[in-house]
């Protein structure tokens, strides 16, 4: 729910349901679904979540183990100026005492919990109790964090700990049935229902900040439009039936327009101006594959077993944030310019070779799983 409702009162003496607090980008919330699933198994009850961003509600609601979703626009807005934060504090107070896993590193998040009456006996802070290990992926860190207990609860037994994490190899993300139905209708209206779909995410949200030119050298996730166009042209040539869809949000559409002008093919379609989270996830479940810069939609694609190629930039950390998939192939590309890492060191041929490897792996898996 968006903050403003009233949480159901708990029975006297019964702790409130577990609460996860995670303000972050889309990829952060996809990864933290692993923590939510582990806590859901541990307590046998839905896990409530505090997050931010209008896209967080459709991403989280209906996912396995997720209970109430409390949203605010920003935790950085001064409290005195944020009625949303006031409503959040009231809603959390109404829940009563219960275990809280704080996954946010900013002091504003802790301040909101203190205003809501969350005391140390119920609180776990990831930075204090679960520092990341030198070569650890964040998903594995969340699984460790789920096994920790605040002082008000007993420690987790070895049997319970094993049950909590068993089989979790990727974020447990699912596509809801009505999302599929809506996508089917949209594809029919576009004349795309019978075409193989290839997805391209050429833009990361940080590239589109008003003060940042996407093509500036300091933009570590920028891969030139000419290279994207060359990749798209090769994909369209390889499969005359395929359609390539350029993803994103409306603010990212102009970069997609530049790519489309270079290709000039009716089977390349910029859909960034009409995207939503449900449509994105349903497309990723259906597509033959996706090529993306390192960004949130790449994490959801991997979680949905969409064959994936990811281009990492200078500050990318595949060992920390690499996209994880239950079964689908994931190709992670890094490049170098001179002595340092750079996304500009990734060539068009690098991407096409990685795409071919991912498609071969997906085909091999399909043959193995065929009856």
pTM as predicted: 0.92
Identify whether 14 is part of a domain: no
Task: Looking at the structure, tell me whether residues 154 and 191 fall in a common domain.
Answer: no
Q: Give the percent of the chain with pLDDT over 70.
A: 93
Half-sphere exposure of 310 (CA within 13 A, CB side): 27
Q: Let me know: does 33 contact 6? Beta carbons within 8 Å.
A: no
The residue among 165, 198, 226 that closes a domain is 165
Q: Are residues 97 and 229 in the same domain?
A: no
Q: How many CB atoms lie within 10 A of CB 18?
A: 25
| 186 and 331 part of one domain | yes
Together in a domain, 157 and 199: no
233-278 pLDDT, tens digit per residue, is 999 999 999 999 999 999 999 999 999 999 999 999 999 999 999 9
- In this structure, what CATH number is given to the domain that contains residue 328? 3.40.50.2000
Confidence of residue 339 (pLDDT cuts 50, 70, 90): confident
Domain annotation covers residue 348:
yes
Q: What is the CA radius of gyration of the chain?
A: 22
pLDDT exceeds 90 at position 14: no
Contact 306, 199 (CB under 8 A): yes
157 and 266 fall within a common domain: no
Tell me the residue length of the chain: 371
Domain annotation covers residue 127: yes
Residue 207, pLDDT score: 55
Average pLDDT score over residue span 5-18: 63
Q: Does any domain span residue 263? A: yes
Task: Kindly report, residue by residue over 64-99, the tens digit of the pLDDT.
Answer: 899 999 999 888 899 999 999 999 999 999 999 999
Residue 290 has pLDDT above 90, yes or no: yes
**Residue-range definition of the domain harbouring residue 266:** 177-369
| pLDDT tens for each residue of 159-212 | 999 999 999 999 999 999 999 999 999 999 999 999 999 999 999 875 544 434
Range 238-257 burial, b when 16+ CB lie within 10 A, else e: eeeebbbbbbbbeebbebbe
Q: CA dihedral defined by 30, 35, 39, 41, rounded to 10 degrees?
A: 70
Q: How far, in Å, CA of 130 to CA of 195, rounded?
A: 46
How many separate domains does the chain show? 2
Residue 195 CA, chain-centre distance (Å), reads 26
Same structural domain, 126 and 200:
no
In a domain, 42, yes or no: yes
pLDDT at 371: 79
Tokens 């896990």 belong to which residue?
47
- Domain match, 99 and 153 both: yes
Kindly state whether residues 112 and 198 are assigned to the same domain.
no
Boundary residue ending a domain (115, 138, 165): 165
Task: Report the pLDDT value the prediction gives residue 211, as an integer from 0 to 100.
Answer: 35
What residue ranges in 107-147 does DSSP mark as E strands?
A: 123-125
Taking residues 109-129, report their average pLDDT: 97
Q: Indicate whether 99 and 221 sit together in one domain.
A: no
- In this predicted model, what pLDDT tens digit does every residue of 292-303 receive, in sequence order? 999 999 999 999
């Amino acid at each position: 729910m968006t903050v403003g409702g009233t949480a159901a009162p708990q029975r006297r003496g019964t702790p409130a349901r577990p609460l996860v607090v995670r303000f972050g980008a889309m990829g952060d919330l996809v990864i933290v679904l692993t923590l939510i699933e582990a806590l859901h198994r541990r307590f046998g009850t839905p896990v409530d979540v505090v997050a931010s961003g209008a896209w967080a509600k459709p991403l989280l609601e209906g996912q396995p183990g997720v209970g109430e979703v409390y949203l605010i626009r920003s935790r950085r807005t001064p409290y005195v100026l944020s009625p949303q934060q006031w409503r959040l504090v009231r809603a959390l107070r109404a829940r009563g005492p219960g275990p809280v896993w704080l996954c946010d590193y900013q002091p504003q998040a802790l301040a909101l919990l203190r205003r809501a009456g969350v005391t140390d006996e119920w609180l776990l802070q990831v930075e204090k109790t679960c520092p990341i290990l030198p070569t650890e992926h964040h998903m594995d860190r969340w699984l460790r964090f789920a096994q920790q207990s605040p002082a008000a609860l007993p420690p987790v037994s070895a049997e319970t700990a094993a049950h909590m994490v068993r089989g979790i190899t990727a974020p447990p993300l699912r596509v809801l049935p009505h999302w599929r139905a809506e996508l089917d209708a949209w594809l029919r209206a576009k004349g795309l229902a019978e075409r193989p779909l290839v997805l391209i995410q050429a833009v990361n949200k940080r590239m589109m900040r008003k003060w940042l030119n996407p093509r500036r050298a300091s933009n570590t996730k920028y891969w030139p439009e000419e290279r994207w166009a060359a990749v798209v042209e090769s994909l369209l040539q390889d499969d005359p039936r395929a359609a390539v869809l350029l993803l994103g949000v409306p603010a990212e559409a102009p970069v997609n327009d530049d790519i489309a002008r270079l290709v000039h093919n009716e089977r390349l379609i910029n859909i960034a101006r009409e995207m939503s989270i449900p449509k994105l996830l349903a497309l990723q479940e259906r597509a033959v594959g996706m090529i993306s810069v390192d960004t949130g939609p790449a994490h959801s694609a991997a979680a949905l077993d969409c064959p994936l190629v990811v281009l990492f930039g200078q500050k990318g950390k595949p060992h920390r944030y690499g996209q994880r998939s239950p079964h689908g192939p994931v190709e992670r590309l890094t490049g170098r310019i001179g002595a340092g890492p750079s996304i500009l060191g990734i060539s068009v041929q690098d991407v096409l070779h990685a795409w071919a490897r991912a498609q071969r792996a997906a085909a091999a898996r399909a043959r193995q799983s065929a009856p």
